Amino acid sequence: MAALSEEVLLVVKRVRQRKQDGTLYLMTERIAWGPEGKDRFTVSHLYADIRCQKISPDGKAKIQLQLVLHTGESTTFHFANESTALKDRDAAKDLLQQLLPKFKKKANKELEEKNRMLQEDPVLFQLYKDLVVSQVISAEEFWASRLKLNSVDHALSNNNKQEVGISAAFLADIRPQTDGCNGLKYNLTSDIIESIFRTYPAVKQKYAENVPHNLTEKEFWTRFFQSHYFHRDRINTGQQDIFSECAKQDEKGLKSMVVQGVKNPMVDLMSLEDKTLDEGYGSLTALPNSSKTVKENSNSAIIKRFNHHSAMVLAAGLRKVEASSDQASETSSTDGNSRDSDFFQPPIKKVKLQEAIEYEDLQNESGPKTIALNLKKSDRYSHGPVPLQSHHYSTSQDIINSVSCIQEEISCYKPCLTRVMSSSAASSAITALSPGGVLMQAGAQQTISQLVSTDVQSELKHLYTAAGELLRHFWSCFPVNTPFLEEKVVKMQSNLERFQSTKLHPFQEKIQREYLSTNLTNHVEEMIQAAYNKFHAWQTRRMLRKT
Amino acid sequence: MKLNIDGLLVYFPYDYIYPEQYSYMLELKRTLDAKGHGVLEMPSGTGKTISLLSLIVAYQRTYPLEVTKLIYCSRTVPEIEKVIEELRKLMEFYTKETGEKNNFLALALSSRKNLCIHPEILHANIVVYSYHYLLDPKIADLVSKELAKKSVVVFDEAHNIDNVCIDSMSVNITRRTLDRCQTNVETLQNTIQRIKETDAAKLREEYRRLVEGLKEANVARETDIYLSNPVLPDEILQEAVPGSIRTAEHFVGFLKRFLEYLKARLRIHHVVQESSPQFLKDIYEKVCIDRKPLRFCAERLRSLLRTLEIADIADFSAVTLISNFATLVSTYSKGFTIIIEPFEDKTPTIVNPVLHFSCMDPSIAIKPVFERFQSVIITSGTLSPLDIYPRILDFRPVTMASFTMTLARTCLCPLIVGRGNDQVAMSSKFETREDFAVIRNYGNLLLEMSAIVPDGIVAFFTSYVYMENIVASWYEQGILENIQRNKLIFIETQDAAETSMALEKYQEACENGRGAILLSVARGKVSEGIDFVHHFGRAVIMFGVPYVYTQSRILKARLEYLRDQFQIRENDFLTFDAMRHAAQCVGRAIRGKTDYGLMIFADKRYARADKRGKLPRWIQEHITDGSLNLTIDETVQLSKHFLRQMAQPFRREDQLGLSLLTLEQLQSEEMLQKISQIAQQV
């Protein structure tokens, strides 16, 4: 059979696909099916391409498993072995359940990322169309440098990428349904399990402790749903319950949260009042009544649980961010006890107070917040791009020097009145220098934007970006010091050639047809030529070295 | 900018001003000019505090002989701190504009741990502290006694001032109090015995000093140096200390007898309610204690404690409480009631007798303040109806005005929801509050709103017990779980620390875009002290009308008193009280003109004129006929529309000339004309 190096994880015989009997193979990276008696696969899907799997409901005559791909296509397998069909199907399902998430995330993330980049960046999208869709370079080549580039750019933001939060109502989604024969059915998906674990680490710990050596997964969740822990009006959890410990931990966590107090002094109800009346004074006798009815107790337990649940859900979503923000808050909470002294006032309080008394509309805004310009070469910023000359480079210092030189000369310029032109010569010179005159032809030349239609302009622009992209790939290969780069530079060279023949030449022909000056594309040609020169130079040197 | 308020140069530390601020300052100036008291209602978020400070400070600087001090009272610690912060801003502006370092001394007193009774308080130009420092006679006597007559007193957030007054004068005595008192008296007796053996002269001296001390107070009161103390009645100053309590030993003996009498009174099996004279008559008949020594009790004890050089007065809080009670009950024949309950209504089997000595007349505690200081300003965002405050606090204001909020866009949207989609009336009234349909409709309202309101929603219930019940049945019906699909849920509990945490998490959830709902209680700490600015409160839902629990005997007695003494009908007062709390709750969400929020009144009774009419003017004027008795669906539609409008960008240019003015705009004749409409005189 094909691909001998692949490890086969599961083989299921007598699986029908399109009414044909065959065998289903689950490998490490893909799932495949081959018809009976043939040694090739007619169906093969990489796990990364699979969006989800679906199974036929229990009790249906046909026992099936359907794979839905990202592309929207689907493949259905029918397990036909009468005696073991259900078992076979479940084995395949369970294995897939384990395998799919591993690939899913990777594939999705990449696809999403690419999609996002193309959507956000119209120039990139155009480039993609110009280069990949027209098959100048392959999609992989296109993305190869892009994604890397991107990951460097966004290294920081990628690290801090927000995780998807948890729905507060995840427990609501498992609302039990009666199955008609005195039992309850809970729908539990891997998402919900993850939500439970993320929100209640204590349960996760219990799971790790007990499954699978003490309990099966099913038993574990059955007990979870039976326990008072799951029911929010729990008051006392039985000792025999494995979740009673979780409840205790929750209680402890809640208490410690309360003891920690709040960071924002503006919401601290404890220090809201300046003075409570002395004991015995006041008209309201809010004496703590110890005697609460059972119902009241259970009611307040529900309320406590809701607060706790919301806090846990919120914390689960923020857990990652917290690590970084904790440091900041730590430095600001070194206030000690001197609340009233201005000098030791905790900064957070000051900030909150300022916020509270601010009337944004009464004040003139202090201007929009600006972002500081981060210049690597400040002289280039102040003088603008200098046209690149073949041999002579002038640094900004040179320019400044020469300007001051000229200024100096002008300041000490003395007209030599004995050697002046005749008036006729002078007037003809003025005519020649006036607009429309012989010497002012260049100034009257129409700019390219007036000469060329906008279609051509935009086409030219696209050409430029595409060429730029290819050249960027090309030049990024230098210095060529690995075999991989060698290979790449050759490929890029041929890419450039292909670009020239499929894109540039047709364009040149087109502008010729429209009687436009061909020097529109001169610069692009020059750039490509420069690359060719470099390539040939490199190639000859390599030949020399080889011989 | 520098303003000309009716001829007074006022430094105002902002580049722009709201028209209502100008109007407010005008009224304030008039009040100060007339040396009278004022009641001013201006919505929160319109810069009330800075207007008050700017004007009064300017007044003090211009007329240093007319107004010597500003006493600014606020309710909570954060509010006090905010005032200080605004004052600092104003002072910085003064320094910047005038170029001279200001010589103003401002002082903030907060938290008794750091109580500052340094004489500096007498020299400060501005004192900022909590109500209690002025209204609670026990503290006022220590802190505020010597404040100059030519001071201006401001009570900010004063909508509950009557309750503060009543609290500061009411006393509750339990068995535990009496037991601790017993220990106190024994300690006193032992200490006296010891001193008598070592230093008998000291005790003789004590008696002499006591008489002199009282004489001093008498002189001071006559020459008007001190703020009078309602617990120190005039009579004691003029009369001699009665013989029965003249010496320390006799006084302790007297206290013992009084204590035994109180113990006997707590041994009852049914509720007793009586007036002060009845109590005095009974005590005279049973243990032969006269009215006169009772009246001297508080002062006599204070003198004794001083003599015995007792360091920690707090240990003697029980005996102090009893003696304060003795003085009050014998001084005021009116305005107080005594209720002795053998057990709590809820738990009739557990014996826990309490003697409530309840003040029913808030004017008793605040009377010295009105009498002493030339101008007292009562102000808040919600003081409607304005005329009730002068009646229950018994004073004659020279100005009473309510200011609206000028708005370039209608940023508040009050809606009165009266029915569910099934047409069942929604109401928290007693007969229907347990009704399944009502609870379900309330739940549906919250659920629907949670789906359309961005960020934070705050919902208030009429009482804690009611909220607990509703939350439990929403939980059973699965409503809460559906709400959780849209937002996180946080709930106020009776534990302040727990609630603080829930609040902070709530804000966190609003901040990070997740959105949250806070379920809370009217009259609770959250409703009274926490603001929900901007995204922290895009909608407030008031479930029901927050009437006070009317079955309490103390409340019944107070209602009776109000009816007999002030001709305020029970229902009027109850509605007024409920509506001021409702207004407080819904007002929490709007803190400024750039803010916006929905105010949802979920009870059909709000649509009635007697309820609606008691809302502050700035809310009332936005309730149209189209926003009455809505169904949930209609409410959702109107809310969606409102929220979509509010989400549009709102710039300064939109406001300028309408609800925000430059100095030039302010000076135009036309604008001044318009501004004069803002204040509605009552």
The tens-digit pLDDT sequence of chain A (547 residues) is: 444 567 888 888 888 888 888 888 888 888 888 888 877 888 888 887 887 788 887 777 788 888 888 777 888 888 888 788 888 888 888 888 888 777 766 666 677 777 877 887 777 787 787 777 777 777 777 777 666 555 444 444 444 555 677 787 777 777 667 666 667 777 777 778 888 888 888 888 888 888 777 888 888 888 887 776 666 555 554 555 677 777 778 788 878 888 888 888 888 888 777 665 677 787 654 444 445 666 777 888 888 888 888 888 888 877 654 444 443 333 333 333 333 333 444 577 788 888 888 888 888 766 555 666 677 766 666 666 655 555 566 677 888 888 999 999 888 887 777 777 788 888 888 888 887 777 776 544 556 666 778 888 888 888 888 888 888 888 888 888 888 888 888 888 888 888 888 888 888 888 888 777 667 788 888 889 999 998 998 888 888 887 7
SS3 assignment, position B403? strand
DSSP string, B560-619: HHHHHHH---HHHHHHHHHHHHHHHHHHTT--SSS--EEEEEESGGGGSHHHHTTS-HHH
SS3 assignment, position B654? helix
Does the distance separating the beta carbons of B489 and A274 come in below 8 Å?
no
Q: Tell me: domain A8-109, CATH 2.60.120.560, correct? A: no
Q: Please give the backbone phi and psi of residue B274, each rounded to the nearest 5 degrees, phi first.
A: -150, 165
Average pLDDT over residues B231-242: 70
pLDDT at A75: 87
pLDDT at A152: 43
pLDDT at A334: 32
pLDDT at A277: 64
- Distance in angstroms (rounded) separating the CA atoms of residues A34 and A43: 7
- Distance in angstroms (rounded) separating the CA atoms of residues A371 and A415: 51
For A93-97, A210-214, B360-364, B652-656, which range has the lowest pLDDT when averaged over its residues?
A210-214
All residues of chain A having their beta carbon less than 8 Å from the beta carbon of residue B531 are: 356
Q: Model confidence at B630, in pLDDT bands (50, 70, 90)?
A: very high
Q: What proportion of chain B, given as a percentage, has pLDDT over 90?
A: 58
**Nearest chain A residue to B650, by CA:** A361
DSSP string, B464-529: HHHHHHHHHHHHHTTHHHHHHTTSEEEE--S-HHHHHHHHHHHHHHHHTT--EEEEEETTSHHHHH
CA distance B388 to chain A (A): 21
pLDDT at A216: 82
CB-based contact, A55 to chain B, within 8 Å: no
Q: Which of A16, A12, A212 is nearest to A96 (CA)?
A: A12
Instruction: Give Cβ neighbours of residue A528 (< 8 Å, ≥ 6 apart).
Output: A467, A471, A496, A499, A500, A504
Q: Where are the beta strands (DSSP E) in B375-487?
A: 375-380, 397-403, 412-417, 456-461
pLDDT at A44: 86
- Distance in angstroms (rounded) separating the CA atoms of residues B528 and B25: 26
All residues of chain A having their beta carbon less than 8 Å from the beta carbon of residue B316 are: none
DSSP assignment letter at A514: T
pLDDT at A291: 53
Q: Greater confidence, B59 or A131?
A: B59
Instruction: Give Cβ neighbours of residue A452 (< 8 Å, ≥ 6 apart).
Output: A460, A516, A520
Q: Greater confidence, B167 or B220?
A: B167
Q: Which of B138, B45, B66, B125 is nearest to B533 (CA)?
A: B45
Does the distance separating the beta carbons of B498 and A232 come in below 8 Å?
no
pLDDT at A155: 42
Q: Please give the backbone phi and psi of residue A348, each rounded to the nearest 5 degrees, phi first.
A: -60, -35
Q: For residue range B371-394, what is the model confidence (pLDDT) as tens digits?
A: 989 999 999 999 988 999 999 999
Q: Are A306 and B537 in contact (CB under 8 A)?
A: no
| Cis before A435? omega within 30 | no
Closest by Cβ to A274, choosing from B110, B468, B485: B110
From residue A514, how far is each of A458, A517, A519 by CA, in Å?
16, 9, 13
Instruction: Give Cβ neighbours of residue B266 (< 8 Å, ≥ 6 apart).
Output: B173, B174, B175, B178, B340, B353, B355
B330 residue type, one letter:
S
Q: For residue range B268-303, what is the model confidence (pLDDT) as tens digits?
A: 889 999 999 999 999 999 999 999 899 889 888 888
Q: Are B310 and B316 in contact (CB under 8 A)?
A: yes
Q: For residue range B560-615, what is the model confidence (pLDDT) as tens digits?
A: 999 999 899 999 999 999 999 999 999 988 888 989 999 999 999 999 999 999 99
**Nearest chain A residue to B170, by CA:** A282
B552 residue type, one letter:
S
- Count of all residues that appear for chain A in the document: 547
CB-based contact, B111 to chain A, within 8 Å: yes
Q: Greater confidence, B12 or B245?
A: B12
From residue B474, how far is each of A303, B292, B444, B581 by CA, in Å?
11, 59, 10, 25
pLDDT at A383: 63
CB-based contact, B141 to chain A, within 8 Å: no
Flag whether pLDDT at B665 surpasses 50. yes
Match 């009716």 to its residue by tokens. B6
Interface of B with A in 182-241 (CB under 8 A): none
- Distance in angstroms (rounded) separating the CA atoms of residues A476 and A537: 16
Q: Which residues are B126's β-sheet partners?
A: B70, B106
pLDDT at A340: 37
Q: Are A201 and A192 in contact (CB under 8 A)?
A: no
Write out the H or E segment, with its range, that includes residue A327.
helix A294-332
The interface pTM score, or ipTM, of the predicted complex is 0.87
Q: Greater confidence, A6 or B509?
A: B509
Q: Are B31 and B377 in contact (CB under 8 A)?
A: yes
Flag whether pLDDT at B6 surpasses 80. yes
For an interface test with B, give the residue of A279, A298, A307 to mutate (most B CBs within 10 A).
A307
Q: Are B129 and B148 in contact (CB under 8 A)?
A: no
Write out the H or E segment, with its range, that includes residue A139.
helix A139-153
- Distance in angstroms (rounded) separating the CA atoms of residues B184 and B174: 15
CB-based contact, B594 to chain A, within 8 Å: yes
**Nearest chain B residue to A259, by CA:** B497
Q: Are B337 and B275 in contact (CB under 8 A)?
A: yes
pLDDT at A241: 67
pLDDT at A102: 76
The count of other CB atoms within 10 Å of the CB of residue A547 is 5
Average pLDDT over residues B250-265: 93
Q: Model confidence at B654, in pLDDT bands (50, 70, 90)?
A: confident
Q: For residue range B117-138, what is the model confidence (pLDDT) as tens digits?
A: 556 666 788 989 888 888 888 7
pLDDT at A180: 66
pLDDT at A321: 47
All residues of chain B having their beta carbon less than 8 Å from the beta carbon of residue A266 are: 78, 530
Does the distance separating the beta carbons of B489 and A306 come in below 8 Å?
yes
Q: For residue range B479-496, what is the model confidence (pLDDT) as tens digits?
A: 998 999 999 999 999 888
CB-based contact, B347 to chain A, within 8 Å: yes
Question: What is the 3 state secondary structure string of A189-244?
Answer: CHHHHHHHHHHCHHHHHHHHHHCCCCCCHHHHHHHHHHCCCCCCCCCCCCCCCCCH
Q: What global pTM score does this model have?
A: 0.72
Q: Which of B329, B196, B336 is nearest to B261 (CA)?
A: B329
Interface of A with B in 298-327 (CB under 8 A): 298-300, 302-304, 306-307, 310-311, 313-314, 317-318
Closest by Cβ to B514, choosing from A314, A360, A361: A314
Interface of A with B in 229-248 (CB under 8 A): 232-233
Q: Are B519 and B547 in contact (CB under 8 A)?
A: no
CB-based contact, A18 to chain B, within 8 Å: no
SS3 assignment, position A295? helix
Flag whether pLDDT at B203 surpasses 50. yes
CA torsion A505→A507→A510→A512, rounded to 10°? -70
Q: Are B357 and B166 in contact (CB under 8 A)?
A: no
Interface of A with B in 141-200 (CB under 8 A): 165, 167-169, 171-172, 175
Q: Are B101 and B95 in contact (CB under 8 A)?
A: yes
State the count of interchain CB pairs (< 8 A) between A and B: 229
**What's the count of helices (H) and strands (E) in chain B, helices before strands?**
29, 20
